A and B are shown apart, each in its own frame.
Chain A
Amino acid sequence: MQLLEKNRIVNILASIVTLMLVLMQMITIPDHPVIYNFLTWLTWPSLFFIAGYYMTNKEGKASILHIIRCYLLPYIITGVLIVVVNKIMQVLHLAGEWVKIPFPSMKIGAVTMLYGNGWPTDTLIGHHDFGIGLLWILLALLFGVCIQLMIDKLRIQIVKVIISLVLMVLGFYLGTKVQLPWSLDAALIMQLYILLGKYFKTVVITNISAPVTIGVGMLTVWLMSISSGPFELTLATTRYWFWGIITALLGLIMLILIANYLTKLLSNPLYDYFVKLGDKQSINIAVLAFVNLMFPIAHYVSVIIKLPHGTFVIIWLVMVIIVFVVKLMIQYMGQRYFNWSSNEGIS
């Protein structure tokens, strides 16, 4: 399979992941626990797989600069923005049904941002009642790729696989103890998927029986979703981590095969539009995290549209549109004022 085709598959996969990520953020978990659980098993591994696929082979400094631009910069900008907007809303007394205030003070906001925990949890500095929201994933991606870059220095492939597996187990173990700063637990857990992403360029998938493998993926992920609950990467916990790794792997293969199928199904113009959704994933995450943390979109939609059923789908679509439009605006400004390259890669 040509590299170009692999790129097309991963581009489609990134767009699917974006759709799933938005859905996960908008879902009311107590109402739809199985859907949420199902999505966690597919979304998190895929995100890291994509990051692994686009890991650059540039020399040390260049690759570090690349991941700082991709993940750290959006994290810092969005984090600062959240803390500042949070303060402004407080000062102007705008908090209420229409705007959320995630942090009671600027200091707490800053500490949360510096620690990088997604949800309230026990941290090294004691129990922390606040979380930075979806932004945590940017830190996990940053450190995850960083660690994999270091592993990549090794020459023997089997050693890379073993170290990635050991780090994965270590991540699960540490996750049961305490939430490390900067989403390090999640970064460790996801090593295998980043490695798989990196190896994907060299793997042949044309001879895989797609319907059967998709069937296996669907069933295993569904079973895991109902029995084990979510793949709670934010807190780096899951009930059955061993079976979880296998399930996430099967789910990932399933998504790759679905993406492969879609590349053949979508016409070129449709493909281009769809791929744009997943492009610049870190901006997607940053926008989604900011909007979700500050603005109760579900509330807006439910006030405007009153439907007995299906509001949930509308909320999801609205959020997808918001993320997409804001991302395009940022991208436009980046290309216009900061000389961003338009074909720099999906991350």
Chain B
Amino acid sequence: MKKRFQNFKLTGPSFNGWMKLLLIGLIFSICTTILLQFAMYFQTWGRFDQTNDIGQAFQAAFRFMERPQAYFSVLVGLILFIFIIVLINHLFIGIATYWVLVIVAFIAEYMKMKARNEPILYSDLSEVTAVGGLTQMVDKTLLFGAIVTILVLIVIVVGLETWVRKKRTSRFAESVHGMMFQKMGERLLVLCASVVLLGSPFLASADSNRALLEHFGYQWQSVNTGDDTMVNGPVMTFVSNIATVIMREPAGYSAKSMAKLDQKYEKYAAEINKTRTNNLAGQTVITLLSESLTDPNKVDALKYTGTDVYKNINQIKKNAVMSGTMLSSGYGGGTANIEYMTLAGFPLNTYAPEMVVPYTQLVPFADKVPTLPGLFDKREVIHPYVGTFYNRRDAYKKMAIQKFYTTDGQKYKYPASYAGTLGDSGYTADKNSYRYLLKKIAKSSNKDSQFLQLMTMQNHMPYNPGEYGKNNYKVTSPTLSDTAREQIETYITGVHYTDVATKNLIAKLDRLQRPVTLIFYGDHWPGVFTFVDPNKQQERSHETDYFIYQNKAAQEQSKQNLNKHERAYASPSDFPALALQATNSKVSPLFALQTKIVKELPAFANYQRNRFVDNNGHQLSTKDLTKQQKMLLHDLKLVQYDLSSGNHYLKNDFIK
């Protein structure tokens, strides 16, 4: 017993041992801060000090060390280092573990910035389980370099640890042992202290975290997290996004005001439903999210040789019952955010700016998540890839999705026979995922209403040169590096394959007896057009195409003539209301509100807060709205707040 107590004595490293640990930790954490900041600056987006020049990027990263925000990053790095060392209590293994973490963080930050000009956020940690899928998206050279570095580290560590054990009496070995904890007492104490320091932001409220960060000089950049990380560093931006506010209470929110809204939109729904004849029975509605699809012909300054890669989709847009331009919230990524809007019918702009990924920050915590799929009897999502991204599996359960087919699915597995790829691509070809979609429609019963969502993968980054074999498309303008040019050529070739496959899909839908309504859209631009500055060309670089196509059976059932250009510019959040309008289906008070939004408000420009685009493409801000439009916007915010983080005053009938 006495021996056990002795083991818990507060005897750790000597003063010299602590100083050595601190010195190593400080040097490492300073290097880490510079390295992570370098990952932010060595980018092509042209924001702040971002540059293609490796030397200038390093200079900018060193200059960041003069900012007060750097202190926070260094402190976090130092505490993390001490935590690892104390936990493992072997110096070299601890050092290697720390550097493996730093290398992984560096690659993740660099790649995400490269794709989206966005740093790693807390919500991205839900992607950790999808590590297999993530590594496929990483630049192969970088991945190879990282693996080699890690292997070299491991070899050095094993060598040093063995040497230190064998030569226990040497000065170096004694110095190393002097840095380690011989007894449990101080080790436990330091371990607990470092866990508390590192873990407190995960337990604290959003406002407490903000206060802590502001103490360290945090300057919140409301425009985007990319800018935030330039000013504050990726560590601060990460911590600022750990705890988040879903939505701040709108003015006038009360049980009384919500009861009034309940009545108001119940009445409005009844009014709409007087002319609506359908209830979706026996129909299929599809939302088809075409990954990274945009019309290359609309990219400023881009010229290529070869046939028009978008001609079929443009033709389908002309034949569709409704078509136009979709205003995406993302550039180079952010698929799940756009997807959320298309399913829930709520724009992201009206939530709190801290809420950046609804599937991880909103859906799991919201009281109710009414969605378009919730109106159907059968509700399935098809994604020919791993299903672990963006916390989709958990989120879908709350969003009324019954089956989620993915390549890694246990219960609902996307079949390998439909997963064929094109050339050397790692992603399922659109033509194959369309085949599976058609199979799902064919399997539907005549009476049930069916909702299907397909999220394709074919055009996902990294667009490796020569991915599809021989390229029929050559970029002639602008002048680019070979790699950048070849990547664009790969992308264009992919778009061509999508264009052809979509034409065939439409042809097959037309042959179906079952009424099918297809909402087709490109979720965001690919991050491949390095010559486009998404900040300078903000509007254009967030515009993709959408159309709502109905086969003959669906058009006959809806019995109406829609104005094709009714929503020439649409927010993804408009799609549920537009789908119900196209199918001439009856609406609940919630969808009546969304229908009113579509009819009376300009479209939400999701890439910028308080910004709208009218049907002629003109940019408007909130202050440009009429009094009625402002009131309608306020109604939407009240409903959004009540359903997400408010007191849930709305009746259950409001959303049914």
Contacts and interface: CB of A to CB of B under 8 A. Distances in A.
B16 A228 contact: no
Contacts of A227: 67-72, 216-217
Of A207, A219, A229, A239, the most chain B CB neighbours within 10 A belong to A219
A224 B70 CA distance: 10
B23 interface: yes
B20 A228 contact: no
Of B15, B70, B72, the most chain A CB neighbours within 10 A belong to B15
B66 A219 contact: no
A216 interface: yes
Interface string B53-68: 0000000000001111
Nearest to B65: A226
Interface string B68-86: 1111101100000000000
B30 interface: yes
A125 interface: no
A226 B20 contact: no
Contact of A223 (B19, B23, B74, B216): B74
Contacts of A228: 68, 71
B367 to A, nearest CB: 40
B19 A216 contact: yes
Given A219-B26, A220-B26, A227-B217, A209 B71 contact: no
B140 interface: no
Contacts of B22: 216, 220
A212 B71 contact: no
Interface string A190-228: 000000000000000001110011011001100110111
A34 interface: yes
Contacts of A98: none
A219 B71 CA distance: 11
A243 B217 CA distance: 15
Contacts of B67: 226-227
Contacts of A340: none
A61 B68 CA distance: 47
B23 A215 contact: yes
A301 B23 CA distance: 41
B66 to A, nearest CB: 5
Given A207-B16, A240-B215, A212 B68 contact: no
Contacts, number: 55
Interface residues of A, number: 19
B27 interface: yes
Interface in A251-299: none
Given A219-B26, A240-B215, A226 B70 contact: yes
A155 to B, nearest CB: 25
Contacts of A209: 16, 19-20
Nearest to B71: A227
Interface string A229-245: 10000000001100100
> Which secondary structure dominates chain A's binding surface?
helix
A208 to B, nearest CB: 6
Contact of B68 (A34, A220, A239): A239
> Which secondary structure dominates chain B's binding surface?
helix
Interface string B4-29: 00000000000110011011001100
Contact of A219 (B16, B30, B70, B215): B30
A34 to B, nearest CB: 7
Nearest to A205: B15
Contacts of B23: 212, 215-216, 219
A239 B75 CA distance: 15
A212 B20 contact: yes
Interface in A28-43: 34
Contacts of B20: 209, 212
B36 to A, nearest CB: 16
A213 B22 CA distance: 9
Of A216, A226, A243, the most chain B CB neighbours within 10 A belong to A216
A229 B71 CA distance: 11
Interface in A279-329: none
B217 A216 contact: no
B178 to A, nearest CB: 9
A213 B23 CA distance: 8
B505 to A, nearest CB: 57
A160 B542 CA distance: 65
Interface in A101-131: none
Contact of A208 (B16, B71, B215, B217): B16
Contacts of A239: 68, 215, 217
Contacts of B65: 226
A207 B14 CA distance: 10
Contacts of A220: 22, 26
Given A34-B66, A216-B22, A223 B71 contact: yes
Contacts of A208: 15-16, 19
B521 to A, nearest CB: 46
A226 B33 CA distance: 14
A212 to B, nearest CB: 5
A226 B19 CA distance: 21
Contacts of A216: 19, 22-23, 26
Contacts of B30: 219, 223
Of B20, B22, B69, B215, the most chain A CB neighbours within 10 A belong to B22
Nearest to A220: B26
B227 to A, nearest CB: 21
A239 B30 CA distance: 20
A209 B23 CA distance: 12
Contacts of B69: 227
A220 B78 CA distance: 11
Of B23, B67, B74, the most chain A CB neighbours within 10 A belong to B23
Given A219-B26, A219-B30, A226-B65, A212 B70 contact: no
Interface in B300-325: none
B439 to A, nearest CB: 60
A219 B69 CA distance: 16
Contacts of A213: 16, 19
Contacts of B26: 216, 219-220, 223
Contacts of A207: 16
Interface of B: 15-16, 19-20, 22-23, 26-27, 30, 65-72, 74-75, 215-217
- 5 A-B pairs closest in CB distance: A227-B71, A209-B16, A227-B68, A219-B26, A212-B19
27 contacts: A208-B16, A208-B19, A209-B20, A212-B16, A212-B19, A213-B19, A216-B22, A216-B23, A219-B23, A219-B30, A223-B70, A223-B74, A226-B65, A226-B66, A226-B67, A226-B68, A226-B70, A227-B69, A227-B70, A227-B71, A227-B217, A229-B68, A239-B68, A239-B215, A239-B217, A240-B71, A240-B216
Interface of A: 34, 207-209, 212-213, 215-216, 219-220, 223-224, 226-229, 239-240, 243
Given A226-B66, A227-B72, 19 more contacts: A34-B66, A208-B15, A212-B23, A213-B19, A216-B19, A219-B23, A219-B30, A223-B30, A223-B71, A223-B74, A226-B67, A226-B68, A226-B71, A227-B68, A227-B70, A227-B71, A239-B68, A239-B217, A240-B71
